[in-house]
């Protein structure tokens, strides 16, 4: 199975992406958690266009990508797992955990550093959160994230199959935990012991700064609990909570051009009056 994935990375990733997006869209329509207050067509067009632009930028700027780095590290015997002779299955599992921890740490950093937040706020500005929000990232953020991931893959000497599987799982998890999907309270309580659920991650998209600086995990939920960034629920409840960024109300964030230009205009963080608004 892993050999097949390694040999057919591009079609496998595209098939999983399209399949998960279609599944999440169908489930959101059948079991919505919240009523969408904005037009889906405009938002989806912008979110998908951002994802496509990010993919194009990656292909042009760093055609090797994380998988190519893993292949080259394997050929050269470079990286921690190659140097230490770590058994394949251990290297495989540890790579998945290490890369997921990396994504968590990188996510925290993108909330703290001024220019990185400028890029990441394009993701948070989405006035409604659904499966497509999970692929709504500024192309420059996608490029930076890939460069960080490539460095980590090289230093670890991560197995090629682990890198591919991680990319597939991360993409699917992002669409799942951003989905506007209603999951029963009991099921959600059990699931979030292991993975990030939609209700858990939705807290991260609150307009309140103290809430959107919590629940950074994308795949497994242990990192937020371990590092003290876990918040169980929004103060206003999931139905009444306000999503997005107060300083960027709809419809501006739903526009593709606005989303591309926004990081290069305005303040990195809101001024004092806006911060008070977002935490009251």
> pLDDT-based confidence at 2, cuts 50/70/90?
low
3-state secondary structure (DSSP) of residue 206: strand
Mean pLDDT estimate for the chain: 92
**pLDDT band at 84; cut points 50, 70, 90:** very high
Burial 212-239 (b: 16+ CB within 10 A, else e): bebbbbbbbbbbbeeeebbbeebeeeee
**64 has pLDDT over 80:** yes
pTM score of the predicted model: 0.92
Q: How many CB atoms lie within 10 A of CB 190?
A: 12
Residues 229-264: tens digit of each pLDDT: 999 999 999 999 999 999 999 999 999 999 999 999
Separation of first and last alpha carbons in the chain:
51
> In DSSP terms, which residues pair with 32 in a beta bridge?
181
Q: How far apart are CA 262 and CA 138, in angstroms?
A: 10
- Report the pLDDT averaged over residues 182-193: 96
In the beta sheet, which residues pair with residue 181? 32
pLDDT, tens digit, 9 for 90 and up, residues 92-146: 999 999 999 999 999 999 999 999 999 999 999 999 999 999 999 999 999 999 9
SS3 of residue 242 by DSSP: coil
More confident residue, 40 or 227: 227
**In the structure encoding, which two tokens stand for residue 139, read together?**
């192309």
């Amino acid at each position: 199975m892993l050999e097949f994935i390694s040999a057919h990375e591009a079609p496998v990733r595209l098939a999983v992406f399209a399949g998960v997006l279609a599944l999440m869209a169908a489930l959101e329509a059948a079991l919505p958690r919240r009523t969408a207050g904005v037009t889906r067509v405009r938002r989806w067009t912008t979110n998908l266009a951002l994802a496509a632009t990010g993919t194009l930028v990656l292909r042009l700027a760093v055609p090797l990508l994380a998988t190519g780095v893993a292949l080259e590290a394997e050929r050269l015997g470079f990286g921690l797992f190659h140097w230490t002779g770590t058994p394949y299955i251990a290297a495989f599992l540890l790579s998945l955990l290490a890369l997921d921890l990396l994504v968590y740490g990188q996510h925290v950093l993108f909330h703290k550093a001024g220019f990185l937040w400028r890029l990441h706020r394009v993701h948070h500005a989405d006035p409604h959160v659904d499966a497509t929000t999970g692929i709504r990232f500024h192309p420059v953020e996608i490029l930076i994230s890939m460069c960080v991931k490539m460095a980590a893959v090289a230093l670890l000497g991560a197995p090629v199959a682990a890198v591919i599987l991680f990319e597939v799982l991360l993409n699917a998890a992002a669409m799942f935990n951003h989905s506007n999907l209603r999951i029963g309270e009991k099921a959600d309580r059990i699931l979030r012991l292991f993975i990030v659920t939609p209700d858990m991650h939705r807290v991260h998209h609150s307009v309140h700064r103290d809430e959107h600086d919590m629940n950074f995990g994308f795949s497994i939920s242990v990192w937020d609990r371990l590092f003290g960034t876990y918040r169980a629920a929004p103060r206003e409840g999931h139905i009444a909570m306000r999503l997005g960024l107060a300083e960027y109300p709809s419809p501006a964030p739903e526009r593709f051009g606005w989303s591309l230009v926004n990081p290069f205009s305005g303040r990195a963080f809101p001024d004092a009056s806006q911060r008070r608004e977002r935490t009251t």
